[in-house]
Amino acid sequence: MRRPARAVSAMLAAQRQDEEPALAAPQTFYADSGGNDIAWQTLGEGELDLVHLGGITTQVDLLWDLPEVERFWRQITHFARLILFDRRGMGASGPISPQALPSADDWAADLLAVLDAAGSEKAAIFAEREAGAIAIAFAARYPKRVSALILGNATARYLRAPDHPVGEPPERAEQHCAMLRKHWATEGLAATLVPARAGDSHFLAGVARLQRAAATPRVVEAHTRHFLNMDLRDRLPSIRCPTLLLHRREYPYMDATAHAQYLEERIAGSRRVGIDGSESFFAIDRGDEVLGIVEEFLTGGRSKVYADRVLVTVLFLDLVGSTVLATERGDAAWHDLLSRFHRMVRKQLHRFRGHEVDNAGDGFFATFDSPGRSLLCARAIREEARTLDLEIRVGVHAGECEVVGPSVRGLTVHIGARVMGEASPGDIMVSSTLRALLAGSDFGFRRRGEYRLKGVEGRWRLYALDDSASDE
C-alpha cells in the first residue's frame, strides 16, 4: 500500500505551523510592581476577565507565533477578556537575579499590579503547572479580586514529605532540573515536552526559539528549583472561590491526578476533571476540549463550537520519482526544473481559484470552494507537467475543515493526503465523497477499489478521474 511522499507528510505537519500569526498580537504594556517592570497584554471585551498564566516557557510577544497558542487565546475572547503577563524575571518582564528569586506572594503582587493596570477589579485566574503556586497565593491573599480559580497540572507542594506522601521524590526533582539545565532551548527538549509533535521540526524549532527568548538555562533551572521547593498547603483552606482542577491523566513530570485529588480534598467546593494525554501545554493538545470545560465552568454554558469549520475541497499533489530525477539531473538543473514546476502549479491554482495552503519541495496542498474546479485544475497541472517530462499524482477529497487563519486542519485534510498516497503515477484519485458531490457532472471516473486509509476508520472506495469513461 502506498503512503504519501515524505514532502507531503512534512507539509501536513508544517501547515499547522505558520511563521506569522493570522492576526496582529495585542500591544504589550508594562505595569510597575514594586519597582519591577511587568509585561502584560489584554485582548477582547468580554464582561468576564480571565488571566491565563503559563509556566516557565513564557514570552508574551513570541507566544503568539505558535498558532495553537494564538488560537487558544483568541478562543477565550469569545466569552472573556483575556489578560496575559510575564512574571518578573521571565520573558519580556524585567530581569532579576537567580540567586534572589521572589516568593509566591511577590509574584502574586505582580499579578495584582497587572490587574490594576488593566482596570480589572475581579478576574478568573487560569494557571498551568508551576504558575499554579502564584495563583494559589493570589487567591488566598486577595480573595476579593478573584472570581474563580482554574489550576492545570498544579500542586501545592511538589516534593514528598512525611505528611505529604503524594509528593514526588527529591531525586525526580533533581532529574527534572538537570534535564532543563542541559537541554533548555533545544529541539530535543521541545519534543520531550510536546511528544505529539516530536516529528514536526518546524514546531520544535519555534518552541526552542521561544524558550531562548523566555530565559537562559541557568535562570530556568533556578526558577524551576525554586517552584519545586515551594509549600503552599497552608493557603488552601483560605481559597473560597469556585475552583476547577484540570489534570493530564498521563502527565510525565508528576502524578498530576494524585496532586489534583489532594487539592480537591482541601479546597472547599472544588471540582476535578481529568484530561487525556501527556502534553505539558493544554493549548497544544485537546485545547478545544479544555476551553469548553473552562467556559462552562465560568459561565454555565458553551457559547460556540471552538472551531471555524467550513466545507472545502482539499487537493494534494506531488511529483513522482523526484529523488531519482534530482540525482540524474544534478542540483542546479533540478532546482531550475522545480522552480518552473512551482510557477506552473501556482499559475493553474490562480486560474481555477485554488488557494495554496502549503508546499514542501515537490508537493503542494491546496483548497478549493468547488470540487469541479479542483479536478479541472488537477488535470491542467498534470498535462502541463508532462510537457516538462514530469509526472504527478493527485488526491482530492471534500469535507468540513477547521480553518484557523491561513491554516486548514482536520480529518478531511488527512483523508485527502491518504487518498493521494494510494494514487499511481499520473492518477487523479478522488474519494467517494467527492465523486458524490459531482453526480450528474461531465466528469468520468473509474472505480479503483476499497482501501483502508491509515488513521481513518472503515474502508474507503476510491476512484480515478478518467476522461474516456462514463461515470460508473
DSSP classification of residue 193? H
Is 8 contained in some domain?
Answer: no
At residue 195, the pLDDT reads 80
Work out the pLDDT band at 285, boundaries 50, 70, 90. Answer: confident
**214 in the same domain as 323:** no
> Has residue 4 got a pLDDT over 80?
no
* Per-residue pLDDT tens over the stretch 101-125: 999 999 999 999 999 999 999 999 9
- When mean pLDDT is compared across 82-91, 355-364, 411-420, the lowest value belongs to 355-364
**131 in the same domain as 54:** yes
Q: Look up residue 223 and give its three cell numbers.
A: 526558577
Question: What is the tally of structural domains in the chain?
Answer: 2
Domain end, chosen from 264, 299, 334, is at 299
CATH code of 163's domain: 3.40.50.1820
Does residue 203 or residue 42 have the better pLDDT? 42
* Per-residue pLDDT tens over the stretch 387-446: 999 999 999 999 988 765 556 778 899 999 999 999 999 999 999 999 999 988 889 999
Work out the pLDDT band at 280, boundaries 50, 70, 90. Answer: confident
* Per-residue pLDDT tens over the stretch 24-36: 789 999 999 999 9
At residue 469, the pLDDT reads 55
* Per-residue pLDDT tens over the stretch 315-354: 999 999 888 888 888 888 888 899 999 999 999 999 999 9
Contact 472, 447 (CB under 8 A): yes
**279 in the same domain as 337:** no
> Has residue 305 got a pLDDT over 90?
no
**426 in the same domain as 317:** yes
Q: With the C-alpha atoms ordered 212, 251, 126, 114, is the resulting torsion angle positive or negative? A: negative
Is 27 contained in some domain?
Answer: no
At residue 309, the pLDDT reads 67
**295 in the same domain as 343:** no
Share of the chain above pLDDT 70, in %: 92
**155 in the same domain as 295:** yes
Quote the mean pLDDT of the chain. 88
Q: Look up residue 341 and give its three cell numbers.
A: 514546476
Domain end, chosen from 242, 276, 299, is at 299
- Which structural domain, as residue segments, surrounds residue 414? 308-465
**262 in the same domain as 340:** no
**367 in the same domain as 396:** yes
**380 in the same domain as 346:** yes
Q: Which residues pair with 244 in a beta bridge?
A: 150, 271
Characterize the bridge pairing of strands 460-465 and 445-451: antiparallel
Non-local CB neighbours of 232 within 8 Å, separated by 6+ positions: 104, 133, 136, 137, 140, 156, 157
Work out the pLDDT band at 213, boundaries 50, 70, 90. Answer: very high
Contact 16, 402 (CB under 8 A): no
At residue 56, the pLDDT reads 87
Is 3 contained in some domain?
Answer: no
Domain end, chosen from 247, 270, 299, is at 299
At residue 326, the pLDDT reads 85
At residue 289, the pLDDT reads 87
**245 in the same domain as 104:** yes
Q: Look up residue 345 and give its three cell numbers.
A: 502549479
Is 206 contained in some domain?
Answer: yes
> Has residue 12 got a pLDDT over 80?
no
